[in-house]
């Protein structure tokens, strides 16, 4: 079972170098690493030329591919998948760093669950992390769940939630594209939606949720394959531009997945967002005034 790593990137040369270093340190090496570049300058190309001999000495290749079409994470992922030769395609964002046994654990998971079509790694940002407690936090998480907004969970990964605690591999309704793997054969029937341009927010959700609907219980997330997310906001849209991209993409993705029901869900989410903002604004005023009675001092 061979693995190809596909890394779409837009600038982020420093973050990419950290990821490439973590790939060189993998206990089990992939067959190849493919960097698909959306950057308009030559910085990423030069970085790959610097790292290519290191990869060659370690027994696997580093390929640089320029996306000549318009900028899109979805297009970049599809381009990488098209030229990849591995049985497993491991998609990694360029601002991620892998634990040394990440690829080893991903391959082991595919062997343990042969019917799986996709397996996601788990982001372990804080060692010895304790799940938040307190009435204030838990009530807000229930509120988010009610309005289909992103919220945290324990040992479950349904749509619009992410497990902050994960004790074993579980079935998931979607996979986070930040660090996820699918079998190459998946691309015979499904591709990332290239209508999502530029900062293609939620392209991973649309792809993986569609795959799960076609093949229920074919996606898993495992705590054995761990990574950290560095997060590089400098290369992302910001302010009103980012909010508009998220609003537009969220509507498109929900309608693609659930049709008219998705449109109703979009409106319900918007209502939840407005209420959430109002609650947050009110609580900030209370904290600034020194009256913590409503929060109970539990957050």
- pLDDT by position in tens, the chain (length 299): 899 999 999 999 999 999 999 999 999 999 999 999 999 999 999 999 999 999 999 999 999 999 999 999 999 999 999 999 999 999 999 999 999 999 999 999 999 999 999 999 998 655 445 556 677 778 888 999 999 999 988 899 999 999 988 999 999 999 998 999 999 999 999 999 999 988 889 999 999 999 999 999 999 999 999 999 887 766 777 788 889 999 999 999 999 999 999 999 999 999 999 998 888 887 776 656 554 333 333 32
Please give the Cα distance from 294 to 299 (Å, whole number).
Answer: 11
Burial class (CB in 10 A: 0-12, 13-18, 19+), 197: middle
Burial class (CB in 10 A: 0-12, 13-18, 19+), 137: middle
If you ran DSSP here, which 8-state letter would residue 85 be given?
Answer: -
Q: Which tokens go with 281?
A: 């604004």
Task: Please tell me the pTM assigned to this model.
Answer: 0.90
Please give the Cα distance from 140 to 147 (Å, whole number).
Answer: 11
Please give the Cα distance from 192 to 30 (Å, whole number).
Answer: 22
* DSSP bridge pairs for 61: 32
- Domain of residue 72: give its range: 3-240
Which is it for the CA torsion 16, 20, 25, 31, positive or negative?
positive
Please give the Cα distance from 198 to 227 (Å, whole number).
Answer: 25
Q: Judge whether 42 lies within some domain.
A: yes
Q: What is the CATH number of the domain that holds 133?
A: 3.90.550.10
Tell me, rounded to whole angstroms, the distance of Cα 294 from its chain centroid: 35
Total domains in the chain come to: 1
Q: Judge whether 262 lies within some domain.
A: no
Among the listed residues 13, 56, 55, the one whose alpha carbon sits nearest the alpha carbon of residue 37:
13
Q: Under a CB-based contact definition with an 8 Å cutoff, are residues 185 and 216 in contact?
A: no
If you ran DSSP here, which 8-state letter would residue 187 be given?
Answer: G
Q: Judge whether 257 lies within some domain.
A: no
Please give the Cα distance from 143 to 17 (Å, whole number).
Answer: 40
If you ran DSSP here, which 8-state letter would residue 134 be given?
Answer: S
The torsion angles phi and psi of 54, rounded to 5 degrees, stand at -65, -40
CA distances for 74 relative to 87, 193, 196, angstroms = 20, 6, 7
Helix ranges, the chain (H) = 13-24, 43-57, 73-83, 102-112, 135-146, 203-214, 239-289
Q: Judge whether 256 lies within some domain.
A: no
Q: Judge whether 260 lies within some domain.
A: no
Q: Judge whether 121 lies within some domain.
A: yes
Secondary structure class of 99 (helix, strand, coil): coil
Q: Which tokens go with 266?
A: 């979009």
Q: Under a CB-based contact definition with an 8 Å cutoff, are residues 88 and 183 in contact?
A: yes
Q: Judge whether 133 lies within some domain.
A: yes
Q: Judge whether 288 lies within some domain.
A: no
């Amino acid at each position: 079972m061979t693995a190809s790593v596909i890394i779409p990137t837009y600038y982020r040369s420093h973050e990419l170098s950290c990821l490439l270093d973590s790939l060189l340190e993998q206990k089990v090496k992939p067959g190849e690493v493919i960097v698909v570049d959306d950057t308009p300058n030559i910085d990423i190309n030069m970085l790959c030329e610097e790292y290519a001999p290191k990869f060659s000495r370690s027994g696997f290749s580093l390929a640089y591919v320029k996306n000549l079409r318009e900028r899109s994470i979805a297009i970049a992922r599809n381009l990488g998948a098209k030229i990849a030769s591995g049985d497993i395609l491991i998609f990694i964002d360029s601002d991620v760093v892998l634990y040394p046994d990440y690829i080893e654990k991903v391959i082991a998971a595919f062997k343990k669950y042969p019917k799986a079509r996709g397996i996601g790694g788990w982001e372990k940002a804080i060692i010895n992390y304790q799940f938040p407690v307190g009435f204030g936090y838990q009530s807000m998480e229930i509120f988010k769940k009610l309005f289909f907004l992103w919220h945290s969970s324990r040992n479950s990964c349904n749509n619009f939630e992410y497990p902050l605690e994960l004790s074993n591999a579980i079935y998931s309704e979607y996979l986070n594209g930040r660090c996820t793997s699918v079998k190459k054969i998946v691309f015979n029937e499904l591709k990332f939606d290239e209508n999502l341009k530029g900062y293609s927010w939620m392209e991973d959700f649309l792809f993986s949720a569609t795959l799960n609907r076609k093949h229920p219980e074919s996606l898993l997330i495992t705590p054995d394959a761990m990574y950290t997310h560095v997060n590089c906001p400098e290369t992302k849209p910001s302010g009103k531009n980012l909010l508009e991209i998220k609003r537009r993409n969220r509507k498109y993705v929900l309608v693609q997945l659930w049709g008219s029901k998705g449109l109703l869900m979009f409106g319900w989410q918007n209502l939840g967002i407005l209420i959430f903002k109002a609650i947050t604004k009110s609580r900030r005023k209370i904290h600034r005034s020194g009256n913590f009675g409503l929060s109970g001092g539990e957050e």
